[in-house]
């Protein structure tokens, strides 16, 4: 939003999402700072304007993040307190449902970061906190510090995880998520769009994301299997890719994006895979 989707297109996506009963929207202060003419908070501003136009703030669960915007970098207490005000203003709200540490900041003591988040929760500006892009070891350390000091505790994680990006999450963070009963909302649920099934070998697709890392024998084998299984379920390949992710231990809901309302229809379908189908896709993607 504010990058590949204009304000009008974004409103159409959000309208369609809400019409389907969708209520959880994920963003970050640095979205979409990288686009020419943007300074950050572009996505937040669109979401905020949409909620104001609909009068539905109390019906939505809004997650945003701090630490990666170039003008508000890191997880120092001072930066967190300044960044949350910027996000609240952009979102046109007085509270954030889920506030993520967008990336670990090893230059700042975890206790300082968690104390700042605790103060935001006590003030009512934030309801829950979560961690994104933390290693398993650092995530567990943060959880232990919260327990030992009576500080606010990360309730969930958002790391890279999908049918083709499995190794880092499954070998590291997944065990911590399970041990501590956290929720997971992995990003790039569709592997930058590759797992939507729109790519075929040799074809050139107009896209803002580079998916060449997935365009290999393993990737094409997974796509072929997804297409075959999707036919039997009469669903989109995207829905099937997200169904595999949703079935994994510790995953509460996958993050997926739609640039247009028509694309949203592919990802709101909820499909339940059989044990054999899950095992087949898991084996192919190993």
Question: Which residues are designated catalytic?
Answer: 31
Burial code of 23-57, b = ≥16 C-beta within 10 A, e = fewer?
A: eebbbbbbbbbeeeeeebbbbbbbbbbbbeeeeee
Intra-chain end-to-end CA distance of the chain, in Å: 33
Quick one: DSSP state of residue 163?
S
Burial code of 160-172, b = ≥16 C-beta within 10 A, e = fewer?
A: bbbbbbbeebeee
Q: Is 217 exposed, middle or buried (0-12, 13-18, 19+ CB in 10 A)?
A: exposed
> Residue 115 and residue 131: Cα distance in Å, rounded?
15
Computed over its alpha carbons, how large is the radius of gyration of the chain? 19
Q: Which of 32, 59, 62, 33 is nearest to 47 (CA)?
A: 62
Quick one: DSSP state of residue 204?
-
Cα 44 off chain centre by: 14
User: CB of 130 within 8 A of CB of 88?
Assistant: no
Give the CA-trace dihedral at 74, 77, 78, 83, to 10 degrees. Answer: 60
Distances (CA, A) of 214 to 169, 192, 198, 243: 17, 10, 13, 19
């Amino acid at each position: 939003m504010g990058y590949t989707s204009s304000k009008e297109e974004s409103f159409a996506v959000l309208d369609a999402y809400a019409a389907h009963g969708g209520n959880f929207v994920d963003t970050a202060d640095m979205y979409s700072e990288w686009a020419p003419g943007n300074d950050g908070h572009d996505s937040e501003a669109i979401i905020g304007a949409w909620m104001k136009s609909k009068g539905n703030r109390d019906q939505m669960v809004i997650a945003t993040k701090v630490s990666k915007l170039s003008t508000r970098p890191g997880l120092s207490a001072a930066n967190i307190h300044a960044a949350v005000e910027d996000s609240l203003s952009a979102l046109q709200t007085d509270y954030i449902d889920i506030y993520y540490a967008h990336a670990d900041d090893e230059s700042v003591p975890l206790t300082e970061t968690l104390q700042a988040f605790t103060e935001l929760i006590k003030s009512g500006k934030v309801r829950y906190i979560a961690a994104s892009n933390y290693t398993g070891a650092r995530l567990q350390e943060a959880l232990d510090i919260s327990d030992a000091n009576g500080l606010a505790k990360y309730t969930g994680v958002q790391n890279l995880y999908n049918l083709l990006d499995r190794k880092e999450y499954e070998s590291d963070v997944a065990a911590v998520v399970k041990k501590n009963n956290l929720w997971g909302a992995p990003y790039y649920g569709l592997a930058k769009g590759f797992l939507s099934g729109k790519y075929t070998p040799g074809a050139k697709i107009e896209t803002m994301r580079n998916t060449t890392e997935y365009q290999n024998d393993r990737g094409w084998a997974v796509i072929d299997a997804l297409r075959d299984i999707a036919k039997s379920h009469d669903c989109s390949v995207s829905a099937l890719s997200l169904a595999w992710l949703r079935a994994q231990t510790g995953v509460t809901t996958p993050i997926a994006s739609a640039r247009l309302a028509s694309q949203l229809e592919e990802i709101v379908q909820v499909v339940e895979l059989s044990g054999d189908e899950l095992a087949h896709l898991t084996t192919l993607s190993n």
